[in-house]
Amino acid sequence: MTSIVVNRPRMEVLCGDRTLLAAREFGWSALDATFVSVDEEQAKRILLVDNRTSDLAGYDLPALADLLKDLPDLEGTGYDQAELGALLDGRRARLLELDPRFCDVVVPRWEGLTGQSAERVPA
């Protein structure tokens, strides 16, 4: 289970605020929390370093692609077929893939992974 960090004196989430929001949205009834007791300045420092490490973090893209492609579907992962196709091709996708050259790669992969047939719908 994912953990958040809470400053006990103010019951303020210092790390994991988006995790908490997602847990609420999904209707989770429990979430692990680590409680700390720090002053306001230290709380700000914890909040800032948590956000900064996210900014500086990266992914092991081949390992990420392997994890995603082994799943029966991508539901609940935050990734879609276009992004998986881009990862498998060594590209980074930020938006829905519209370029027909790459759609012609992504669609057969999706069909192979899901066993379903895609249907082309005219724009």
pLDDT tens track for 73-94: 888 887 888 788 888 887 766 5
Do 85 and 93 form a contact (C-beta atoms < 8 A)? Answer: yes
Helices (H), 27-80: 40-56, 61-69
Q: What is the pLDDT of residue 4?
A: 92
Q: Where are the domains of the chain?
A: 3-56, 61-114
For residue 118, the SS3 value is coil
pLDDT tens, position by position, 21-40: 888 888 888 889 999 999 99
Mean pLDDT, the chain, rounded, equals 82
Arithmetic mean of pLDDT, 52-78: 85
Q: If 0-12 CB within 10 Å is exposed, 13-18 middle and 19+ buried, where does residue 102 land?
A: middle
Is the pTM for the entire model greater than 0.75?
Answer: no
Q: Which residues contact 90 (CB under 8 A, 6 or more apart)?
A: 61
